[in-house]
Amino acid sequence: MSDAALPDPLTPPDCDLRGLEYMPLLGNHLFGSEFNARATDSEWRAALTLWWAAWGQVPAASLPDEDTALCRFADLGKDVKSWRKLRAGALHGWVKCADGRLYHPLLAKQALIAWEKRQQDRQARTTSAERKARERADRSRMFEDLAAVGVTPAWNIPTGDLRALVTEHVRDQSREKVTPVTPPVTRNVTAKTGRDGTVYSDTNVSGADAPPIDVVKAMFDEGVALLGQYGRNASSSRSIIGKWRNARGPDWVLRAIRAAKAEATGDPVEWIQGRLRRENSDEDERAAYRRLAVQEYLEADKAAGRA
């Protein structure tokens, strides 16, 4: 048969599974096959050795159609004479394709599953790396902005909390530069009283001179107001905020509410709960990758069982 009449390769030319130390064996298929029933011990051993060699070739699931190379891949060294006696049985099920290489259809199917998962994982890691690079740049800028107004947060503060601090201190500082001609002397809904009895408004008191705020009260007041904008009544809002408080404390909740007010484009409850989940499940990337590898091959086994 001419190369033009041969089938197309069963895996793409860039299908590369090198370094993947796992290959589905599909025991039911293997031990129930005609090959298992008819192959000699030497043919069986050579065949399994070739499967593993093909898994690490590029394209994966393929082998060169050349006896010297096949002899070596079958772990027979340079004993080409012995290889030729085993060749027909050891290459049971393999087909030659238009690129001149041999492919095993069942192995190729598993290779395509593993290749798709590997590409997805690489894309996810690339996206994650780009996101983290942007986050590092943003954090550096926000630390500089806060340092300029005398605020020094912990180096490992969550990014959402860092944004809330910028919203609270840097933007407030900008507003304070517009000083009223006559300082306010009458109490209003946002006024606070200093220890000398003078009444200050929120817009001209900040930093070390600002009276301490009641964090819990501010948490509930601001939270109920924010959630109320999205159709939740006060009772429901206070219940939700209380659960967040039990999970992370009032300081965290207040920062999260302010961050949601500044950043969230939809329901602030979903935004804050998503942030809570992320901070409670900060997984190590290496462990996540190992779990993904196990999952992808469990899925590969299931897919092969359905075939």
The per-residue pLDDT for 35 is 87
Residues 106 and 101: their CA atoms lie apart, in Å, by: 16
State pLDDT tens for residues 148-163. 888 888 888 898 888 8
Answer whether residue 168 shows pLDDT above 60.
Answer: yes
Q: Which helix (H) or strand (E) holds 79?
A: none
175-191 burial, b at 16+ Cβ within 10 Å, e below that, comes to: eeeeeeeeeeeeeeeee
The per-residue pLDDT for 284 is 46
The proportion of the chain whose per-residue pLDDT surpasses 90, expressed as a percent, equals: 36
Answer whether residue 33 shows pLDDT above 60.
Answer: yes
State pLDDT tens for residues 197-228. 433 344 444 444 445 678 888 999 999 999 99
The per-residue pLDDT for 135 is 84
Say how many CA atoms lie within 13 Å of 79 toward its Cβ. Answer: 10
With left for phi above 0 and alpha for psi between -120 and 50, is residue 215 left, alpha or beta? Answer: alpha
Residue 100's pLDDT band (cuts 50, 70, 90) = very high
Looking at per-residue pLDDT, the higher value among 302 and 61 belongs to: 61
21-38 burial, b at 16+ Cβ within 10 Å, e below that, comes to: eebbebeeeeeeeebeee
CB distance 50 to 91 below 8 Å: yes
Tell me the whole-structure pTM to 2 decimals. Answer: 0.43
Residue 293's pLDDT band (cuts 50, 70, 90) = low
Residues 198 and 194: their CA atoms lie apart, in Å, by: 5
**What does the DSSP 8-state code read for residue 33?**
S
The per-residue pLDDT for 302 is 62
Residues 96 and 4: their CA atoms lie apart, in Å, by: 12
State pLDDT tens for residues 50-99. 999 999 999 999 999 999 999 999 999 999 999 999 999 999 999 999 99
Answer whether residue 189 shows pLDDT above 60.
Answer: no
The chain-wide mean pLDDT, for the chain, equals 80
Q: 292, 303, 306, 302: which is closest to 20 by C-alpha?
A: 292
Answer whether residue 185 shows pLDDT above 50.
Answer: no
Residue 292's pLDDT band (cuts 50, 70, 90) = low
**Distance spanning both ends of the chain, measured CA to CA:** 29
Q: Which helix (H) or strand (E) holds 52?
A: helix 41-55
